[in-house]
Structure 1
Amino acid sequence: MPFRSALSGINAASEDLKVIGNNVSNASTSGFKKARAEFADVYAATQGGSSNAIGSGVRLASVNQNFGQGNIEFTDNKMDLAINGRGFFVLDNNGTREYTRAGSFQVDREGYVTNSSNKRLVVNNADEEGNITGDVGALRLDNSNIKPKATSRLDVGINLDSEQTPPTTQPFDPEVSNSYNHSTSLTVYDSLGNGHLATMYYVKGEEPNTWETHMFVNGKSAKGEQTPPYTGDTLKFDGSGALASINGEAVPPGMVSYSGIDVGAGGDPLNIDVNLLSATPTTQFGTKFNVNALSQNGFTSGRLSGFDIDDAGMIKARYSNGQSKVLGQVSLADFSNPQGLRPLGDTTWAESFASGAALNGTPGSGSLGSIQSGALEGSNVDLTGELVKMITAQRNFQANAQVITTADTVTQTIINIR
């Protein structure tokens, strides 16, 4: 009798409707991947087979997921991340690795970047210098003050006017304006992050193409001298205006070094190298004094003020003291057979034997996609297509139900034969 075959058809249509219903209900779920019910016939074959054998119905063979790309929807939250291409975000669920395409993240009370299920985003961590290391772990945003850095280097690029004449007042004294030709200043920092005013003075020498330079910090000589005459460093230029030597030593390196500079305020003494051959070198041309480059490498303490994530997944923090630092790089995972991943709910999947081992990498490397910050990947469900499939599943259900009705009528007719 066909009852069993028709009943299997009804069950198959019901399973198909369940899959379609799940797709439709998640049409607006970020990172959701639609599924498809696949069926196989049931064939009761005897040994040796038979050309007259009739099938016994249908069964649900598998429910396969479609990991096609969903639409990228832009948001106003930099913590929202979308993958444009292959790959999955890696999540840490109490030591267990899980994978997702849903990139809606926030910061929990401990500073960890988590999703709505409190699973932490896994990244390739950076060291104190901002270099990406092989250490992989949960990303944590530290809101405490970053340590200050004492100034150890100045990069100076100036032009000294070759037409200048030696000052009328000798010897050099920073308190006497006509005892030097030019000066320039900037702020340097000690080991506690306190700022100190550093001023460099330039005095035209009696010998052609020579200048004398002095540095004072907080109005005191960087060499520790208290009163004039102050010991300067001699700069000599060649006929083309390029720096040729410092204190009689040929350049490069082009450094004037000061050590043990007492700045008070409890900070350690400063040791500073003044680089006169930076990217914009110091010159002596026949034009007016001009400062082309002036920078230093120290900074005061600061707090986290924001961060940015680029398409390579690099997470760069910005601090209130104007500094920036790389905190890590988003880690992505790919699989030889993504359809073999085991669904866990909450738009996450787990590795399985069928999927193969996770292939970890960074955004943009190999076949992995890039990261879009301030965006989310939408569901890849096509509602129009799902509604059409729903109608088809409904017709299949009705047709199988009609087979049972017809078979019942035939059975009643046979029973009623006398």
Structure 2
Amino acid sequence: MSFYTSLSGLKNAQVDLGVISHNIANVETYGFKQSSTQFSDIVVGSAFSNPKLTQGIGASVEAIVQNFKLGPIEQTGAALDVAIAGDGFFSTVSAASGNTLYTRNGSFQMDANGFIHDGSDNRLQVFPTDTAGNVTSTTPVSAQVPQTNGAGSEFVSVTVEENGNVNAGYADGSVEVIGKIALASFTTPTGLKQVGSSNWQSSGLSGPANMGEPGAGLFGGLRSGSLERSNVDIAEELVSLITAQRNFQANAKAIDTATQIGQTVINLRT
């Protein structure tokens, strides 16, 4: 019994080490959120068991929980680098698969067709607006900057306001609002499914996305020319790493001790 109890401890410590290593590896990843491992004990008994003599048989991983606290904001100066100063996620749609993704990494760029997208060609979603920036539909669409305006002037610049308005500037000096960035929130963000590249997908645990405008209600305003860094605290992770290593060593020592006891019993019988 003691072998399997300690073996469960070894496996749990290994999982904990993997989660901590993943956090440390992504300390420089924009929009990354730290994860932590939660454990639960395993106790087995029957209706006829004496509760005073119930013995545990180890532990198991109960959950790997993400921490969505705000990371430090770094100024970059790039017009399409956008950080959310508060709650919310950017909504993007994959140009290849059409899947909707959510992210805190606001590092965007523009392609030859005027679509604003991230490094994986996931297109930023915006609410359609009129020329004054008033939202005309609550159904998000892919942000696309026209390469010329109605007068035929060429596109020269793009800016993002705190309220989410995406402004396109043209050679004749005119400025047009092409949409307002749509933000998403979730009832249980810790239930979001990680898919890599600082992206998440909704799941049955997170609930569906609730869309809204930056700076309205629970949604934070936007900071153009800035990016949100990883929220991993490297000092905290190093302390956790040492603790996980000690847990691994302690369980390994318990297995070694059980082996020695078993060998002693065998020697007595022989």
TM range (shorter): over 0.9
Find the counterpart in structure 1 of residue 91 from structure 2. 90
Paired amino acid for 1:33: K
What TM-score comes out, normalization by structure 1 length?
0.62
Question: Which whole-Å CA distance do the structure 2 matches of 1:129 and 1:391 have between them?
Answer: 56
Q: Quick check: which one's strand share is greater?
A: 1
RMSD between aligned alpha carbons?
A: 1.3
Which protein is richer in helix relative to its size?
Answer: 2
The yes-or-no answer on 1:142 pairing with 2:146 is yes
Q: Which amino acid aligns with 1:91?
A: T
What is the CA deviation profile of residues 206-243 of structure 1, one whole-angstrom value per residue up to 9, with x for unaligned ones?
A: xxxxxxxxxxxxxxxxxxxxxxxxxxxxxxxxxxxxxx
Amino acid paired to 2:235: T
Is the 1:131–1:326 contact (alpha carbons within 8 Å) kept by the matching residues of 2?
A: no
Q: Which residue of 2 aligns with 1:39?
A: 39
- Structure 1 partner of 2:136: 133
| SS in structure 1 at match of 2:205 | coil
**Counterpart position of 2:75:** 74
- What does residue 6 of structure 1 align with? 6
Q: For 2:48 and 2:79, how far apart are their aligned partners in 1?
A: 66
CA offsets 1:273-304 (integer angstroms, 9 cap, x no match)? xxxxxxxxxxxxxxxxxxxxxxxxxxxx4111
Find the aligned partners of 2:132 and 2:86 in 1 and give their Cα distance. 31
Aligned amino acid, residue 227 of structure 2: L
Deviation of 1:390 (Å)? 0.3
Partner of 2:223: 372
Cα deviation for residue 130 of structure 1 reads 5.3
Task: Determine whether 1:65 maps to 2:66.
Answer: yes
Q: CA deviation at 1:128?
A: 5.9
Superposition pairs of residues 1-400 of structure 1, within 5 angstroms: 1-50=1-50, 51-93=52-94, 94-127=97-130, 131-134=134-137, 135-143=139-147, 145-148=148-151, 301-400=152-251
Work out the CA distance in 1 between the residues paired with 2:64 and 2:231: 16
CA offsets 1:123-167 (integer angstroms, 9 cap, x no match): 012246754310520001121x3223xxxxxxxxxxxxxxxxxxx
**Partner amino acid for 1:108?**
D
Give per-residue Cα distances to partners, 1:39-58, cap 9 Å, x unaligned: 00111112244220210001
Structure of greater Rg: 1
| Cα distance between partner residues in 2 of 1:7 and 1:107 | 52
CA shift digits 1:368-414 (9 cap, x unpaired): 00100010000000000000000000000000000001000000000
* SS of the residue 2:53 aligns to: coil
Give structure 1 stretches of 5+ with no counterpart. 149-300
C-alpha change, 1:83 and 1:14, in structure 2 (3 Å) is same
- Which one-letter code corresponds to 2:6 in the other structure? A
Q: Percent identity?
A: 40
In the TM superposition, what whole-angstrom CA distance separates every residue of 1:41-96 from its partner, at most 9, and x where no partner exists? 11111224422021000101110000000000000211101001000000112332
Equivalent position SS for 2:24: helix
The alignment of Structure 1 onto Structure 2 pairs a total of residues equal to 265
Where structure 2 has 5 or more consecutive residues not aligned to the other structure, the ranges are none
Q: Which amino acid aligns with 2:119?
A: S
Could you tell me how far apart the structure 1 residues matched to 2:131 and 2:214 are?
22
CA contact (8 A) 1:99 1:348 kept: yes
Deviations 1:308-353 (A, max 9, x none): 2111111111111111111110000001110011111111111111
